Structure 1
Amino acid sequence: MQRKDIETELGKINFAYRKENPLVVFLNGFGSFDTGQSFSKVIESLPNEYGYFAPDYLNSGFSGKSLKDYTVSDEATELAKIINDFKAEKVVILAHSIGGVYAMQMKDKINNLKAFVGIEPTTREIMLNPPNEPAYIEKNKNMAKLQEKIEADLREIFTPEENKKFWTTTEQNAKKFDEKDNLKAQAAYENDSFWKNTTRISDKTPSVVITEKYRENEYMRSEYVSNNSQSKVVVMGDSHYIHFEYPKQIAEIVEEVIDF
């Protein structure tokens, strides 16, 4: 897995990549996990002729500390510039969790965007007006079990050596950043304009959202599902980290949207 650092006015952005066409842009969730490692089994399941771009956000992973205050929109603009330098004829965004907010901020800045695939992307509804339904309440009660589920899923898809490397890398990267850095990353997310506007995925863009069953209706009415005839919500998995459960199936969905 090749890696590269790009110095931006916001700070150093590190990314794993393979420069081919079509290009799949992997956007991670919030936290210490490195994007390339998180999606490694999805990447391995894609055809070798596909390129990929898997950046780590500022103040996380292999990237550096932010040099000044910023928002997700600011960082997404820098990421879009790097993506456009790949000069891909087809680009597909695959975004997990908060990565969906990044995708919404860069969708109009990326050249040749073909489709969007979201793995439980963060919705305005879940942050600003979460559903008061039994399934959501029960899920929140069991959040403590999420780490156990992540560890179990990684043991399923990774060899013991890969699993050890994943957690060692995560711990080492996390140690680079202090509480101040974590608060800057949190502020970039909380202060972003996404929460106050009504931006949606364009009807010109096919979108596929992958979710656990209990959130299906939330996504059907969300900003991530366009009125494009190819758009749909796919129910899959029992965890927010569905790409840890079903990497091959997610790779198949990416191939499908590229062929639309």
Structure 2
Amino acid sequence: MQRKDVETELGKINFVYRKGEPLIVCLNGFGSFDTAQSFLKIIDSLPENYGIFAPDYLNSGFSGKSLKGYTIADEANELASIINTFKAKRVIILAHSIGGVYMMPMKDKINNLKAFVGIEPTTREIILNPPKEAAYIEKSKDMEKLEDQIRADLSNILTPEENKDFWDTTEQNVQKFDEKDNQNAQAALENDSYWKNDLKLDDDITSVLITEEYRQKEYKRSEYASKNSKVVSLGTYHYIHFEYPREIANIVKDVAE
């Protein structure tokens, strides 16, 4: 695995990569975690001949500060251009949370995109009109315990050295960015046209949507569902890849066959 910087009109984008087939594009959730570290145990469970592309978003991770105002679609276009330089014959996007929103504008720009695996990708519904069912209300109360649960799960799947490196890296990257940078990242999310359009995943793209059991119906009616999609119930909270990395790797291998 190698790490590289690419200068774009929006700012410096940093990514971890290795060449291979198929190319697995890892798209992270919103926040300070480095993408390659977040998907580390999934990557470790994939065949070594698989290619990997794991970028950090602007204003986060090892990437740089944004140089001007931008939207998720703007950044997604830059990422798609980088992905196409790998000239992969098959591309599979593996996205967590807001990574799904990044996937949508880039899906028509990536050459040879074959499949999408979403780990609770952010839906328009959950942002614009959250379901009122009791399970959603109860789950929202658990947000205060989120970091404790993340720390517990990472200590289970990572070695002590990997775990220390994960949190040291996260803290160092947080120090790089100030409140203005955080606001720029938030504005890119809020100002994106995605929330106002009806863009859906194409029916010729295979999709597997991994979610907690209580959100299954939401994903079956979501923009990520296609004629070639299925919903898989797994995990007990939003960071399912920190609970079940091997199981998710197996799903990626299944769609790659």
Q: In the alignment, is residue 247 of structure 1 matched against residue 245 of structure 2? A: yes
Letter of the 1:236 partner, please give it.
Answer: L
Cα offsets for 1:169-211 (capped at 9, x unmatched): 0000010000000000000000001100000000010100000
Q: Structure 2 CA distance, aligned partners of 1:146 and 1:180?
A: 25
Aligned to 1:122: 122
Normalising by the residue count of structure 2, what TM-score does the alignment of the two structures yield?
0.99
Structure 1 segments of 4+ aligned residues over 3 angstroms from their partners: none
Q: Structure 2 CA distance, aligned partners of 1:130 and 1:227?
A: 24
Secondary structure of the residue aligned to 1:142 is helix
Letter of the 1:255 partner, please give it.
Answer: K
Matches within 5 A, 1:201-220: 201-220=201-220
Matches within 5 A, 1:76-115: 76-115=76-115
Aligned to 1:3: 3
Cα offsets for 1:18-62 (capped at 9, x unmatched): 011110000000000000000010000000000000000000000
Q: Structure 1 CA distance, aligned partners of 2:123 and 2:112?
A: 24
Aligned to 1:72: 72
Letter of the 1:193 partner, please give it.
Answer: S
Letter of the 2:245 partner, please give it.
Answer: P
| CA RMSD across the alignment | 0.5
Q: Structure 2 CA distance, aligned partners of 1:142 and 1:37?
A: 24
Aligned to 1:52: 52
Unaligned runs of 5+ in 1: none
Aligned to 2:184: 184
Aligned to 2:139: 139
Aligned to 1:234: 232
Q: Structure 2 CA distance, aligned partners of 1:133 and 1:146?
A: 21
Secondary structure of the residue aligned to 1:13 is strand
Q: Structure 2 CA distance, aligned partners of 1:46 and 1:225?
A: 25
Aligned residues: 257
Secondary structure of the residue aligned to 2:154 is helix
Q: Structure 1 CA distance, aligned partners of 2:160 and 2:205?
A: 39
Secondary structure of the residue aligned to 2:177 is coil
Letter of the 1:218 partner, please give it.
Answer: E
Secondary structure of the residue aligned to 1:108 is coil
Q: Structure 1 CA distance, aligned partners of 2:98 and 2:74?
A: 15
Q: Structure 2 CA distance, aligned partners of 1:205 and 1:41?
A: 25
Secondary structure of the residue aligned to 2:4 is strand
Q: Structure 2 CA distance, aligned partners of 1:143 and 1:123?
A: 18
Q: Per-residue deviation at 1:146?
A: 1.1
Q: Structure 1 CA distance, aligned partners of 2:89 and 2:7?
A: 25
